[in-house]
Structure 1
Amino acid sequence: MKSYQKLTQPSACRLEEEGAAPAPTGHGKLAPCWVGSGLLVAAVLLSAITVWVLQQVSVGWPRPTLPPKCLLVPESHRFDCYPERHVVVTQQLCESRGCCFIESPPPAAGKRGVPWCFYPPDFPSYTLESLNETALGMVGLLVRREKAYYPRDIEMLRLDVEFETDTRLHIKITDAANPRYEVPLEVPRATKKAENPIYSLDFSWDPFGVVLRRRATGMVLLNTTVAPLIFADQFLQISTSLPSKFLYGLGEHRGPLLHSMDWSTLTLCSLSPITSSFNAMEVALQPQYQQVIGFPAMPPFWALGFHLCRWGYGSSNETWQTVRAMRNYQIPQDAQWNDIDYMDGYRDFTFDSQKFASLPSLVEDLHKHGQHYVMILDPGISSTDPNGSYWPFDEGLRRGLFLNTTQGQTLIGQVWPGFTAFADFSNPDTHQWWLENLQRFHAHVPFDGLWIDMNEPSNFMDGSEEGCPPGELDSPPYTPAVLGDSLSAKTVCASAKQKASVHYNLHNLYGLMEAKATASALIQIWGKRPFVISRSTFPSQGRYSGHWLGDNRSQWKDMYYSIPGLLSFSLFGIPLVGADICGFSGSTSEELCTRWMQLGAFYPFARNHNTQNEKAQDPTVFSPAARTAMKNVLLTRYSLLPFLYTLFHRAHLQGDTVARPLFFEFPQDVTTLGLDRQFLWGRSLLVTPVLDPGVDSVTGYVPRGTWYDFYTVRSTAALGRDPCPKPCVVPLTPSYLYLLLPAQGSSMNSSGEMVKMSAPLDHLNLHIREGAILPTQKPGTTSEATRRNPLCLIVTLSSSDTAWGDLFWDDGESLDTFEQGSYSYVVFNVTQVGCSGEGRGATEVTIGTLTSCFPHPQFYLISGLPSPQSQLLNLSCSISALI
């Protein structure tokens, strides 16, 4: 793939199946994506900005008589010199650019194949004219002696290299003569040069290139000498070879987690490549990346419960009926959502006074039952209401807070309410206006979270009601493979004016800026952690919102694709992620929805959502057997909320993943590198869903070691029962009580192999890794009720009789509890001589060793009743405690 103008990160603006037609996003509308200007290349150890994906292809094919220099270029290093689409590249066209032309075998279906037109070894590029030391690294001057084939190529470039840390290097290339727009990301700035970097950097002076190596092994991580650097006004190209065939982390495409290396071309709104080789240190890349973009926010505890929505609730009463049905069947639910149905004429900050007259009462009822309400908002503001009748537009127009045309008039497009203006979130004044709108609406409908949709921004028109003006912003010399082959297709004009710059530069940032404004507004409204789910994303989005994977289909293939999607966004630093459970468009089946509810119960963000004019798919509408299976798997999720919450704490604190691919934990196991039909919660809980119809078993990979069946551990040691032959109950505080409970359950001793597992329709396979300690609770039907129930630790001993786990606990909603010290955190350890727990808090209590109560158990449950006011920390174990 190629990245043009700026190298960024994933967005939901355009999702494609690799090798397939684009899939719909946003109520059946294809969301637009393209890139702006500016170049930022950050080379982080163990990773590289990857601009071309290559693979050696060995074929026999007759070759014409060619210049020797062209024959010197192996197929693996043939970088496309004519990437324009919809052009039949002839030898004459190719050679007019000074490039080589060699016909290759026809590519496989859906693939580009080896480029016929490629750069020769002596293609004119930049020369590194000077390189001088600075306090943080080096600064250099790059000069191009000959013009490239793209118009307005830049003659002189500035090279800045900063050795920021021992594991992070920052390389930046900019126009040396003219300031250009740069993405305003808040990234850490080094104050001193790294003293002992574990990487080395070498330069090729003519032609210019950089080679980044791992110092210990000499492995090349980044090599830009393989093709010329192109830096024109509206076309940027930097190329590298890869040290591994395993490439992950390129967003915006529905397909396998491991990307094809067979000459694939991927068009992105943004870029965040993650490469992995057979080195365990590769796992450290994830927190390194998030150190640059910022760690994700800690979500409120209730956000980890089950969410229910659909586009097509005809009224607030119909919505309420669904909530009541969920309660009647005692199916866990934390949040009820409404799509655009609730609005008056699809206008933001309104609700239909006829069909949704009881909406305020519904929200009040949800709150009385410990539940929450989430509503949708779009950035398109209705512009056709009579003057003075619609405050959001009137006030936004008065303050000049909308995108403008090149002539300075409000740009008008079309979204759900009809003709609309688009909020300019690059303007700080817009954030205040957004807050005021939300405050006004919250006074009538006290919502708890927001779903921001259509925020690429999406537009039912191309550009505006008047189209887009001629010019190179809207019609650049090179147009990537975007929707409609136009930057304005189903979005606004690239030339539209915003406070910070032209939309050409800000398009990819639109969703991030709206999420930032929304999160800030919610904090100001109720002074607690905000809950925001956004469709469009950008690097650092996890600091402000979660993400759902866009509109999918009620198909088995889409259910499978959701796993690579959520794992990719985990890599991107957006751990609060999930797909529309049971599918958005199309009609689901009972079998598909049951299996999808089982999988979706282990999405970090779990929401069932579907479109209008399709049958309902919430758990209450299915047969008793299916309904019970869905209920049980949600109860399982709720029992694991303390574990899940602790994983989010680790993500917030140090950038760990919540849902993670198996290769993160087993990087030396080559088999795990291609697995994307299973995943882990943290390091300890293996999820193996059924992804195919009509089966009662599933084959999954079980990495080396002992793995315990989650359900038999739970069922043979029920919470609250004391099976000890003598008392082994020790009070920690008046509000905490721990019980040591032995349990017997099935286990698998794997050498690292595929295992066929029984999987009837009512069963999801879950396995706990040896050496783990998982905090759980007896589940309630809401997260609030669950938090009042007994706490339980599941302990699975390793072969050396050790185990480790941790628990983070706070009030679940206050801001910055960790930063302010208003929390409890315990690290539990079990060793051959006993157990211990270390943490931060005011209470220290000695309890008995596990082995003093049970001779040779393999795993245990430790339970107790938590109190929000208590602090559970600094546990130590001694054998004398129970004597």
Structure 2
Amino acid sequence: MWFLLPYISLCLSLETYYSASNIIYSPSSISAILTFQGQSQPSTIHTLNLTILAESYTHARVRITDLNSTRWEVPDIILNPSSLILFSEANYSITLFENPFGLSIFRKSNNQLIFHIDPNVTFQYQNQDLIMTSLLDYPFYVYGFGERVSHFPLNPGIYTLFARGQPGPYDNGKPPGKNMYSSQPVYIAIDSLGNSHGGFLLNSNAMDVTIHNYSITYRPIGGIIDYFAFVGPKPEDVAKQYQKLVGLPVLIPYWTLGYHQSRWGYHNLSDLQNVVTNFNKYQIPLDVMWTDIDYMTNFEDFTLDPERYNYKNFSIFIENLHSANRKFVPICDAAIPIYDYPPYNLALEQNLFIGSPHHYGALIGKVWPGLAVFIDWFNPNATGYWHNMMISLRKLVDFDGFWIDMNDPSNFCEGECGYPASQFVKDLPYIPGYLSLNLLTIDLAATHIGGLIEFDVHNLYGFKMALASSKYFTDILKTRPFILSRSSFPGQGRFASKWLGDNFSLYDWMAYSIPGIFNFQIFGIPLIGADICGFSFDTTEDLCCRWYQLGTMYPFTRNHNSNNTIPQEPWAFGLLLLTVSNQAIRNKYSLMNYYYTHMFYLSIEGGTFFKPTFFEYPTDIRLQYDHAEKNFMVGPALLVHPALIRDLTVVEAYFPADIWYNWYTGKRITTPFNRTLTLDAPLNGTINIHIRGGQIVTKNDASTTANTVYDLRYGNITLVIAIDGEGLAKGSMILDDGVSLGTIENGNYTEIYYKYSEDGKVAYLDFFIKNSGYRKAQGEWPFVSTLVLYGCISPIRSVFNNQNQVDYSLAYNSRLQVATAKLLSIQPDSPYKLQINF
């Protein structure tokens, strides 16, 4: 009777259902014909083909398609389908119910149900209204299903997945229709014991997803059911299993982890020059300058306004940035203005625009420059055209990355300018979100090459634009791509990054950035952040201070705001913000090799970096909900407790059961029975970070003086060793050139694994070289300058390498139990076995 309560809102009259027949069981697949029984609707598809595939040890694939007609299926997402394995070798088992049709998938390792189409619950397959529910026999929390501003986990409710350019409505699923820039039909679920599973519906049509405590219901309005069930059993496992399916995160350029400055409202070259001058004046690190649409002539893509941005002087400005090891990134919007200039004329000649459903020729929308048209990315000539346009722009603006915006695609008219919504859109039997699907975008009846319609491919617009932009860097410039996109779809992380779009200068929205980033870590887009200090509304000094403390912990750290708001650069409010922002940026720079190393690992094996703490401690139920958004882990070692509420100077910090040390001082904390401590969080201070016992973190010595992350490459490394209860610790570091293609594939990197172990009054610190494919440039990362041991109960007496003593200065704080050893001539990427004597 476990199922009775969850079924109340899901039950179906058994007068209408599908039955399974012609069932064929093979060692790696199950197939069947599903036949509709009972009274049908005119749009009901009566005969379906069911295929269940054992694609890997950790995921099963369930495909349900129209047996007699071809329906839209999403291309280019699953690039390398796994060779089938045997069901007997997989960590899941399948049970098929025949009459009525139903399906169960169990995780073998603990016989737990992870996906279940119950025979007694609505299963519907109509032409433009599909319904599939997974109902389990236990309650679970749900995380994912983006993009939206919401909590982590999601509250029970209805959540719409449909790319729409509306900034930041808070979404609790009641009512639906609060969808934003991306469609990511991916989730991770976790039960009270910490067991996790996940699911991915490969479908690009608009859909609603209904979440209850026991169930998830999908309601797409087109396409097919192509579902992947992931067994976990840990949340980090699910993230990796999903990302290996759709493509591992792109290897980012090293410089993208630095500090970025942008705004809409740098109206001319002098504004940009003044910003850079002030960064130099106040000695604040700066890696990347950005421009919004200000630089264009009348907001027209691939132009530079010669009056406000003199061509020669602007070229000199960028040359000066590059000579200072800084980068430049401009914006590019999705729509091409209807104007007599090369980008429009060339695309028109090649018939590259999305077609109108109302008249012959291109669909006409409206964006910043006025009336505009939209590239049809499914046209095989679109990518070559786009590259030619990027080449022409780079002759004027020597950019290092590319920022693509409004690619939901956004439209200031509803559907097509001058026309009502097409009858096709009006006649839809179900509308996800209960709002017009033409709102803020182009008409879903618009046409693409090859007979495709916007109805099916709408959510892929940002994906295809990002892919074409990325290929310019990989194919033309032969370097790692840095593409920052507003819209996204599954698999996009393998070539592009993202930011959370237009947010608000409010404490709540600063806090919502944390679950927003969590979600995209799951989705496989780890280089992500929110606009520091907020984009819309005027920020305040205290909010900006708090946001710098938090935002410099994001993987992608950028200050950006709107043209109708007050300035919010680090010097905008005076000494307090200037001090806080500078120390926050330098705090991240001290961790730059740690950040880069673990982001590098994501490109090898997938997973998450800026993560919910329960991803590291999945059995701690209080981290799943009560404390899910109040703290986060950065990599496996660092636990962060931000200050997220106005006027508070302390945070109530929950700590999972483990050994924790204050990152800055090395003081070991002692928690009470509820594991919650009150930590000081002064507005003029640094964010609370604690390092986990058993971890070694590399710290960049040059962070106190660096102007860019490039400078960090020519500074020494400190190893911070947080000793666990057994006298052990481990860590690693990756070294490479930070920009080249093929680094992982060709092994052009060096990986060092550090292992610390105590044996009585002696400890050993081993440097294992796991890969040695990178030859450092002269002066790069010269030495390990210092060992800092947290939780050291005795002072260090000496440090030896073989028979040679290599310490030259020793210190010990008995109150904090922190030992420090300054070293001579120890290189971070050479094999050693250092003996530490106590």
TM-score normalized by the length of structure 1: 0.79
Match of 1:413 in 2: 365
The alpha carbon displacement at 1:626 in A equals: 2.1
Match of 1:655 in 2: 606
CA distance in 2, matches of 1:349, 1:799: 59
Match of 2:122 among 222, 228, 247: 228
Rate the CA distance shift 1:193–1:571 in 2: closer, same or farther, 3 A: same
Match of 1:247 among 142, 151, 166: 142
Q: Given the alignment of the two structures, is residue 352 of structure 1 paired with residue 305 of structure 2, yes or no?
A: yes
CA distance in 1, matches of 2:568, 2:252: 27
Q: Given the alignment of the two structures, is residue 288 of structure 1 paired with residue 238 of structure 2, yes or no?
A: no
The alpha carbon displacement at 1:241 in A equals: 1.6
Q: Given the alignment of the two structures, is residue 167 of structure 1 paired with residue 58 of structure 2, yes or no?
A: yes
Q: Given the alignment of the two structures, is residue 464 of structure 1 paired with residue 416 of structure 2, yes or no?
A: yes
The alpha carbon displacement at 1:408 in A equals: 4.2
Q: Residue 59 of structure 2 contacts residue 241 of structure 2 at CA under 8 Å; is this kept in 1?
A: yes
CA distance in 1, matches of 2:767, 2:139: 41
CA distance in 2, matches of 1:813, 1:123: 62
CA distance in 2, matches of 1:304, 1:395: 36
The alpha carbon displacement at 1:865 in A equals: 11
Q: Residue 849 of structure 1 contacts residue 878 of structure 1 at CA under 8 Å; is this kept in 2?
A: no
Match of 1:455 in 2: 407
Q: Given the alignment of the two structures, is residue 595 of structure 1 paired with residue 550 of structure 2, yes or no?
A: no
CA distance in 2, matches of 1:549, 1:584: 11
For 1:174, the aligned partner's letter is T
Q: Given the alignment of the two structures, is residue 546 of structure 1 paired with residue 501 of structure 2, yes or no?
A: no
CA distance in 2, matches of 1:548, 1:865: 43
CA distance in 2, matches of 1:663, 1:876: 34
Q: Residue 316 of structure 1 contacts residue 355 of structure 1 at CA under 8 Å; is this kept in 2?
A: yes
The alpha carbon displacement at 1:426 in A equals: 1.7
CA distance in 2, matches of 1:480, 1:525: 40
**1:766-792 deviation line (CA, Å, top 9, x unaligned):** 111111111121211201111111122
SS at match of 1:629: helix
Match of 1:760 in 2: 682
Aligned residue runs from structure 1 range 579-594, under 5 A: 579-594=530-545
Q: Residue 187 of structure 1 contacts residue 294 of structure 1 at CA under 8 Å; is this kept in 2?
A: yes
SS at match of 2:547: helix
Q: Given the alignment of the two structures, is residue 318 of structure 1 paired with residue 278 of structure 2, yes or no?
A: no
Q: Given the alignment of the two structures, is residue 238 of structure 1 paired with residue 114 of structure 2, yes or no?
A: no
CA distance in 2, matches of 1:417, 1:836: 60
Q: Residue 796 of structure 1 contacts residue 860 of structure 1 at CA under 8 Å; is this kept in 2?
A: no
The alpha carbon displacement at 1:504 in A equals: 1.0
CA distance in 2, matches of 1:318, 1:211: 61
Q: Residue 806 of structure 2 contacts residue 824 of structure 2 at CA under 8 Å; is this kept in 1?
A: no
Rate the CA distance shift 1:169–1:875 in 2: closer, same or farther, 3 A: farther
**1:368-405 deviation line (CA, Å, top 9, x unaligned):** 1111111110110011x23xxx1011000001111012
For 1:206, the aligned partner's letter is N
Match of 1:182 among 57, 62, 73: 73
For 1:785, the aligned partner's letter is D
Q: Residue 310 of structure 1 contacts residue 609 of structure 1 at CA under 8 Å; is this kept in 2?
A: yes
**1:209-243 deviation line (CA, Å, top 9, x unaligned):** 11111223222111111512100110111012244
Q: Residue 475 of structure 1 contacts residue 486 of structure 1 at CA under 8 Å; is this kept in 2?
A: no
Rate the CA distance shift 1:135–1:398 in 2: closer, same or farther, 3 A: farther
Q: Given the alignment of the two structures, is residue 837 of structure 1 paired with residue 767 of structure 2, yes or no?
A: yes
Match of 1:139 among 31, 34, 39: 31
For 1:166, the aligned partner's letter is Y
SS at match of 1:397: helix
CA distance in 2, matches of 1:397, 1:126: 48
Q: Residue 147 of structure 1 contacts residue 153 of structure 1 at CA under 8 Å; is this kept in 2?
A: no
For 1:163, the aligned partner's letter is A
Q: Residue 96 of structure 2 contacts residue 102 of structure 2 at CA under 8 Å; is this kept in 1?
A: yes
Match of 2:187 among 263, 268, 273: 273
Q: Residue 379 of structure 2 contacts residue 449 of structure 2 at CA under 8 Å; is this kept in 1?
A: yes
Match of 2:592 in 1: 641
SS at match of 1:552: coil
Q: Residue 199 of structure 1 contacts residue 215 of structure 1 at CA under 8 Å; is this kept in 2?
A: yes
The alpha carbon displacement at 1:851 in A equals: 12
SS at match of 2:521: helix
Rate the CA distance shift 1:76–1:186 in 2: closer, same or farther, 3 A: closer
Q: Residue 575 of structure 1 contacts residue 658 of structure 1 at CA under 8 Å; is this kept in 2?
A: yes
CA distance in 2, matches of 1:337, 1:708: 38
The alpha carbon displacement at 1:855 in A equals: 11
Q: Residue 493 of structure 2 contacts residue 525 of structure 2 at CA under 8 Å; is this kept in 1?
A: yes
Aligned residue runs from structure 1 range 340-419, under 5 A: 340-357=293-310, 358-383=313-338, 385-386=339-340, 390-406=341-357, 407-419=359-371
Aligned residue runs from structure 1 range 701-720, under 5 A: 701-713=654-666
For 2:293, the aligned partner's letter is I
CA distance in 2, matches of 1:707, 1:652: 28
Q: Residue 706 of structure 1 contacts residue 749 of structure 1 at CA under 8 Å; is this kept in 2?
A: no
Rate the CA distance shift 1:832–1:463 in 2: closer, same or farther, 3 A: same
Rate the CA distance shift 1:865–1:207 in 2: closer, same or farther, 3 A: farther
CA distance in 2, matches of 1:863, 1:490: 60
Q: Given the alignment of the two structures, is residue 79 of structure 1 paired with residue 9 of structure 2, yes or no?
A: yes
CA distance in 2, matches of 1:688, 1:315: 39
Match of 1:37 in 2: none
Q: Which has the higher strand share?
A: 2
The alpha carbon displacement at 1:654 in A equals: 0.5
CA RMSD of aligned residues (A): 2.7
Rate the CA distance shift 1:366–1:261 in 2: closer, same or farther, 3 A: same
CA distance in 1, matches of 2:144, 2:750: 34
For 2:257, the aligned partner's letter is L
**1:519-559 deviation line (CA, Å, top 9, x unaligned):** 00122342211111101010011111111111111001000
**1:553-579 deviation line (CA, Å, top 9, x unaligned):** 100100000001001111111101111
Pick which of 253-262 and 125-134 moved more. Answer: 253-262
Rate the CA distance shift 1:750–1:529 in 2: closer, same or farther, 3 A: farther
CA distance in 2, matches of 1:450, 1:147: 54
Match of 1:875 among 822, 832, 838: 832
Aligned residue runs from structure 1 range 453-852, under 5 A: 453-467=405-419, 470-473=422-425, 475-481=427-433, 485-499=435-449, 501-674=452-625, 675-713=628-666, 745-748=667-670, 753-763=675-685, 764-778=687-701, 779=703, 780-833=706-759, 834-838=764-768, 839-841=770-772, 847=801
Match of 1:433 in 2: 385
**1:406-436 deviation line (CA, Å, top 9, x unaligned):** 4541111111111111011122211000000
Q: Residue 105 of structure 2 contacts residue 115 of structure 2 at CA under 8 Å; is this kept in 1?
A: yes
CA distance in 2, matches of 1:633, 1:344: 36
For 2:69, the aligned partner's letter is N
For 1:197, the aligned partner's letter is A
Match of 1:44 in 2: none
CA distance in 2, matches of 1:576, 1:229: 38
SS at match of 1:829: strand
SS at match of 2:89: coil
For 2:133, the aligned partner's letter is S
Match of 2:104 among 194, 204, 211: 211
CA distance in 2, matches of 1:866, 1:607: 37
5+ long unaligned stretches in structure 2: 159-172, 196-232, 776-782, 785-799
Rate the CA distance shift 1:342–1:179 in 2: closer, same or farther, 3 A: same
Rate the CA distance shift 1:544–1:262 in 2: closer, same or farther, 3 A: closer
Q: Residue 663 of structure 1 contacts residue 669 of structure 1 at CA under 8 Å; is this kept in 2?
A: yes
CA distance in 2, matches of 1:603, 1:783: 15
The alpha carbon displacement at 1:198 in A equals: 1.9
Q: Residue 812 of structure 2 contacts residue 818 of structure 2 at CA under 8 Å; is this kept in 1?
A: no
For 1:486, the aligned partner's letter is S
Count of matched residue pairs = 733
CA distance in 1, matches of 2:819, 2:157: 49
CA distance in 2, matches of 1:270, 1:329: 41
Aligned residue runs from structure 1 range 107-146, under 5 A: 119-120=12-13, 122-134=14-26, 136-146=28-38
Match of 1:15 in 2: none
RCO comparison, higher one (Cα < 8 Å, 6+): 1
CA distance in 1, matches of 2:457, 2:825: 47
For 2:726, the aligned partner's letter is S
